[in-house]
Structure 1
């Protein structure tokens, strides 16, 4: 039996470069990348492959037609779900991440749908920003920062 592994979930991603860059990070850390449709692009687009460089073919990728399909198929325990939003009530530094965590991010323009977050307020986290002039950060940058924070114990940090 293999060790539990974190998974990164992108709900309705819109920008191929972000998805490609996140896929490359997933390959580097042996994480599964789960994509929830619809996408704002085709996975066949050069932009996805370019951002993922020649690593895209190595992405451990799983796709779902909807959030409901994902929940039905995976049945993730509530305590393994971590949602990331700029207005999350807690910092990404607060939790002790489960080794089999699902790190869930929404689309670039709207974030996660309210229906997904309903009743999960205690599971929503933010990446702190010190300057109020910045509304949000690039999804690929945030996802990478979160992944490394969540994996600190596994990476020897």
Structure 2
């Protein structure tokens, strides 16, 4: 059975600062942080702890060796999975997020692997950027913006 709270899932994160900052957001909002290996860093690195400041020890953290082991263990309902990519067909402002939502983000340099996104194209969302000169946004900033938007829809505005 799924935990009825939202969760942030990072698939193969590469930058320790982003993971630490997202962990800090998870502590602030009482959310679980799920990390899918491999990582581009060690969770013991000072930069992860520095970004999470003294909150890192309070992160409700769960790790999986790969995407399939996560799916096998958690069995997330399809409607609870929300994938975020800059090329998503729908805006993050479109869905009414489930209370047990898994907010899934890919690594900083490549995003989410095609094999994860195959067959779930209708579950892929983007955070709008109004100026085409900006290629991408920082992962920690995007995850924070998305989770607050998801919470807003749950709280009725």
TM-score category of the 2 structures, normalised to the smaller one: over 0.9
The answer for unaligned runs of 5 or more in structure 1 is: none
1:90-115 deviations in Å (ceiling 9; x for gaps): 00000000000000000000000000
Give the TM-score taking structure 1 as reference length: 0.97
Unaligned runs of 5+ in 2: none
Q: TM-score, normalised by structure 2?
A: 0.97
Where does 1:70-81 land on structure 2 (aligned, <5 Å)?
A: 70-81=70-81
Q: Distance in 1 between matches of 2:53 and 2:154?
A: 26
Distance 1:153 1:55 in 2: 27
- Residue correspondences, number: 156
Distance change (3 Å), C-alpha of 1:89 and 1:156: closer
SS of structure 2 residue aligned to 1:110: coil
RMSD: 1.3
Shift of 1:153: 4.2
Q: 1:143 to 1:132 in 2, by over 3 A?
A: same
Q: Distance in 2 between matches of 1:127 and 1:31?
A: 21
Structure 2 distance, partners of 1:107, 1:54, is 24
**Distance in 2 between the 1:22 and 1:114 partners?**
23
In 1, the alpha carbon distance for the partners of 2:141 and 2:4 equals 24
Alignment of 1:1-157 (within 5 A): 4-154=4-154, 157=157
Deviating above 6 A after TM superposition, structure 1's stretches of 4 or more consecutive aligned residues are none
